[in-house]
A and B are shown apart, each in its own frame.
Chain A
Amino acid sequence: DAGVIQSPRHEVTEMGQEVTLRCKPISGHNSLFWYRQTMMRGLELLIYFNNNVPIDDSGMPEDRFSAKMPNASFSTLKIQPSEPRDSAVYFCASNLGQGVEAFFGQGTRLTVV
């Protein structure tokens, strides 16, 4: 397996624009997590899914953020409208559930200018 695949790797957008980040989890994994990494706040869990169903979105900072998982092999994180403070590296991770290794993608570096 190629691991968790995220796209794009880098995204630069202007304030106010819509941004969509994409993730393909490892085949067979039933849990998917979206994390945001910044210098100030470290790695924060935004939302996670189990069997394509959102379980906990309490980490999503504002209504401008939304995430979907239409099927077991694809998830999106959308920011609309984007703001400069959304600039960060966004990671997607997947695993087989509790107590086992979570595999991370390479991340998407988002810059909002």
Chain B
Amino acid sequence: GENVEQHPSTLSVQEGDSAVIKCTYSDSASNYFPWYKQELGKGPQLIIDIRSNVGEKKDQRIAVTLNKTAKHFSLHITETQPEDSAVYFCAASPAGGTSYGKLTFGQGTILTVHP
């Protein structure tokens, strides 16, 4: 099955700095890669996603890049703000068959943005 590795496990930055979180996956059949943000006491919430036919996607301060050859993808947050502090998860979803959109998650990154 799919295996997703995520690094770093914790990340501390100053407000205004950039933050980068990296993930690798094992199943070359995976073709959908979402990123979720989880705040304390809440469920994970999608912040951005990318599909395998795209190398990069940007939404305001958040961007995701995908390298299918190397099987890795990254989340970039620019101009970080204290409200960006949360746990971030990457995930991968296989194509076709009976996957029906199931997600395999990375271990999570605790991001702390200091004012």
Contacts and interface: CB of A to CB of B under 8 A. Distances in A.
A42 B32 CA distance: 20
Given A98-B93, A99-B31, A31 B43 contact: no
Chain B, interface residues (CB within 8 Å), range: 20 to 34
Given A31-B101, A42-B107, A43-B105, A99 B93 contact: yes
B44 A91 contact: yes
Chain A, interface residues (CB within 8 Å), range: 20 to 34
Contacts, number: 67
Nearest to A92: B43
A104 B43 contact: yes
A13 to B, nearest CB: 20
Nearest to A103: B46
A93 B44 CA distance: 10
B24 to A, nearest CB: 15
B95 A99 contact: yes
A24 to B, nearest CB: 14
Interface in B87-115: 89, 93, 95-96, 98-108
B89 A98 contact: no
B42 interface: yes
Nearest to A3: B43
Interface string A40-56: 00110100101000011
A15 B31 CA distance: 42
